[in-house]
Structures are given as structure tokens and as C-alpha cells.
Chain A
Amino acid sequence: MFEARLVQSSIFKKVLEAIKELLNEATFDCSDSGIQLQAMDSSHVSLVSLNLRSDGFDQYRCDRNLSMGINLASMTKIMKCAGNDDIMTMKAQDNADSVTFMFESPNQEKMSDYEMKLMNLDQEHLGIPETDYSCVIKLPSAEFARICRDLSQFGESVVISCTKEGVKFSAAGDIGSANIKLAQTANVDKEDEAVSIEMQEKVSLTFACRYLNYFTKATPLSPQVCLSMSAEVPLVVEYKIGEIGHIRYYLAPKIEE
């Protein structure tokens, strides 16, 4: 028996918005420790890693490990049926071929349930090595979304260069070039608005704008985003999900030929 109750169903709606453009379907692995998802996009350029800890749910029970293969377009249809303030419960029997979503209005006067068929998906788990990153940049997530959106007008690629002084995002193309520099914030009165850089070595890497823009669909999940970079390894873009977990995106850098 699997049962997970979340008072704020809006969190799950936001999680789905954050992955549905990169992935068509995905396996949600449910265990005693929580719900995990790891999947690459179809071109194997980026990877989504989602972790929702069991202790972040209002109620959580998972007697046996359960892998739920889910079509994300179908799940989106169901999550659209939930009000933002609704309480959501996901439920599945052991070895089930379907999962049930139950939504309760806050005053408990409306209850609805939706059953969704599960899919058998071939699972390919990737081992992500522990890496000490040369640069770890934290910045407001809305600022990062704005930068990715603005620079994608100039070219297909963004160069992210990080030094002790700050981080520079650059793009160039037919109409010209663009550079956006962010310095580390001096005072951190408002933590959510801070830009902070931890640097061991300076790094400059090139990434596809299109994927960075997909990642910024996670912006409503967190006021801050964390970018981790090392030379010639995938970028990590991490959004914390309240007290419940995180979503991480990995993106392979573009390589000079």
C-alpha cells in the first residue's frame, strides 16, 4: 500500500510544470524514504532528478517499493482538476496498474478522485558521481529566468563565466551580442534576493539556451536557484522545494570542436 498526502497540492502542480516540457513520461519511484524521479530528456542532453522526502508529506506510507510509470500529459490533466488550496492524496495498491489522486477542498465540502492508468517504462538509472564543483552560484530564481529568457533572443547558446568578482552570462548571434554581469551582493538583508558565489577555480562553460529555459519552469518552486559548475562536466541547476525536497537538472555542456 502506498499513500501520500500533501496539504498543498500546488507544490505537486508546480513540480509537474517543472518537468513536463522536458519529459513525456517518467517513473516515480516510491519507497519508505519518499518519492524519487530520475529521467533524461529524449536527446540525452539533460537529466531531471526529483526528490520528495517522505517526512515532507503530511502523511506518508509506503509498505513496498513501487515504481509508477506515468504519462506526464495525463497527470497534467488530472492535476488541473485540483484547486490550488486542495489537499491531495496519492494512493496505490501494491503491484497496482493504476494510481488514484484524491483532492479535498480546504473546507472538505468537495471531494474528488481520479484514477490514472500506469505505464510500463524501461528504466535506465544513471549513476551521478559526487563532484566538488569549482563554482557554486546562488541567485534569485526569477533573475535567472529573466537572464535565460533575455539571452535566448541573441543566440542558441549562453556562456556562463564565473570568477570571484561575479558571474557573467553572455550570448551572441545575428543581431549582436549580450552580456549580463551579476556581482555578489554586499549585504544579505533579504536572503532570497542575494547573489552568492563560492569559487575554488574560475570556470567558463557554454550551454544550450533552450534547456536552461526549460529548467526555469521550476522558478515558482523556489525563490533561489543554485548553479554548480566545473570545467567540462554537466551543469547542475537546483531548486529547493520548500521543506520537502529538491529538483535538480543536469545539462551537458557544449564542447568546442
Chain B
Amino acid sequence: TTTQGRLDSFFKVI
């Protein structure tokens, strides 16, 4: 099974 990743874990909030 695969789960959808979120961008928050890759990109930092400035």
C-alpha cells in the first residue's frame, strides 16, 4: 500500500 506524502515534510515554511 502507498500513502500520499504531503509537501510540508519537504519544504519549510518561511
Contacts and interface: CB of A to CB of B under 8 A. Distances in A.
A255 B8 CA distance: 14
Contacts of B10: 233-234, 252
Contacts, number: 56
Contact of A124 (B1, B3, B6, B13): B13
Contact of A125 (B1, B6, B7, B14): B14
A254 interface: yes
A202 B10 CA distance: 21
Q: Is the interface of B mostly helix, strand, loop or mixed?
A: mixed
A46 B2 contact: no
Interface string A21-37: 00000000000000000
A46 B2 CA distance: 17
B7 A255 contact: no
A125 to B, nearest CB: 4
A256 B2 contact: yes
A208 interface: yes
B14 to A, nearest CB: 4
Nearest to B6: A44
A254 B4 contact: yes
Contact of B11 (A45, A126, A208): A126
A220 B14 CA distance: 32
A40 B7 contact: yes
A129 B9 CA distance: 12
A94 to B, nearest CB: 24
22 contacts: A43-B6, A44-B6, A45-B4, A45-B5, A45-B6, A45-B7, A47-B11, A125-B13, A126-B11, A126-B14, A128-B11, A129-B11, A206-B2, A233-B10, A234-B7, A234-B10, A250-B11, A252-B4, A252-B7, A254-B3, A256-B1, A257-B3
Interface of B: 1-14
Interface of A: 40, 43-47, 124-129, 157, 206, 208, 233-234, 250, 252-257
